[in-house]
A and B are shown apart, each in its own frame.
Chain A
Amino acid sequence: GAGVSQSPSNKVTEKGKDVELRCDPISGHTALYWYRQSLGQGLEFLIYFQGNSAPDKSGLPSDRFSAERTGGSVSTLTIQRTQQEDSAVYLCASSTGTGGYEQYFGPGTRLTVT
């Protein structure tokens, strides 16, 4: 079946602009995660959604970052007033649950802020 998909695959934006990154999780997966991978760095947790529960936003680095998950499926990560330090690969993952459930990652969106 189809895996996790993300769009766009690459995004170049000017400093100060807003960007939206999209994630389509595997159908039926109730949990969805966003991570950030900066050049030469490990993955950094940003936010996760589980079913209808309030999202865990504890990893968001600033109030310029927000995410929504509509209808329990597609998610959008929005970065407002982008800064150069926001340049990274943004990865989305989904799973059938949390805890020991396997997370399946998308290919990521490479964001470059000039």
Chain B
Amino acid sequence: KNQVEQSPQSLIILEGKNCTLQCNYTVSPFSNLRWYKQDTGRGPVSLTIMTFSENTKSNGRYTATLDADTKQSSLHITASQLSDSASYICVVSIGAKAAGNKLTFGGGTRVLVKP
């Protein structure tokens, strides 16, 4: 069964500190992995997309890593800001054409940044 597991479920950090979110997946065949940020009451917004051959990708203070061998990814937030408070969702795209490139979503990690 294609699954995406994220940890921790929730995280509280102080403003200015760094944090790392984890994502493990069993999706096969793998096409790409995405990290989304979802503010409360809003739709998800893409942070990064990585294909099989990419190990790391940055978007401002967000850096995602991918180890396709161990099927693990992480999202590192540097120098957190209050606006980083949101849910972060790991999403894996199934590569088989028959699957219609559906996305398999993790349950998300809820991050709360406190001043």
Residues of A within 8 A of B (CB): 4, 33, 35, 41-45, 48, 50, 56, 58-59, 91, 93, 98-100, 102-108
Given the interface pairs A99-B93, A105-B43, the reply to whether A42 lies near B105 with Cβ below 8 Å is yes
Given the interface pairs A42-B108, A56-B102, the reply to whether A100 lies near B43 with Cβ below 8 Å is no
Number of A-B contacts (CB under 8 A): 56
- Which among A59, A91, A98 is the interface contact of B43 at CB below 8 angstroms? A91
- Which among B31, B43, B107 is the interface contact of A42 at CB below 8 angstroms? B107
Asked if B105 and A44 sit within 8 Å, CB to CB, the answer is yes
Interface extent on B, as a size class? 20 to 34
Given the interface pairs A56-B100, A107-B41, A107-B42, the reply to whether A100 lies near B108 with Cβ below 8 Å is no
- Which among A59, A91, A100, A104 is the interface contact of B32 at CB below 8 angstroms? A100
B22 within 8 A of A: no
Q: List 24 A-B contacts (CB under 8 A).
A: A35-B105, A42-B105, A42-B106, A42-B107, A42-B108, A43-B89, A43-B103, A43-B105, A45-B103, A50-B100, A56-B100, A58-B100, A91-B43, A91-B44, A99-B31, A99-B93, A100-B31, A100-B49, A102-B46, A105-B43, A105-B44, A106-B43, A107-B41, A108-B43
Kindly report which residue of chain B lies nearest to residue A41, judged by CB atoms: B107
Residues of chain B in range 94-110 having any CB-CB distance to chain A below 8 Å: 100-108
CA distance A48 to B103 in the complex (A): 11
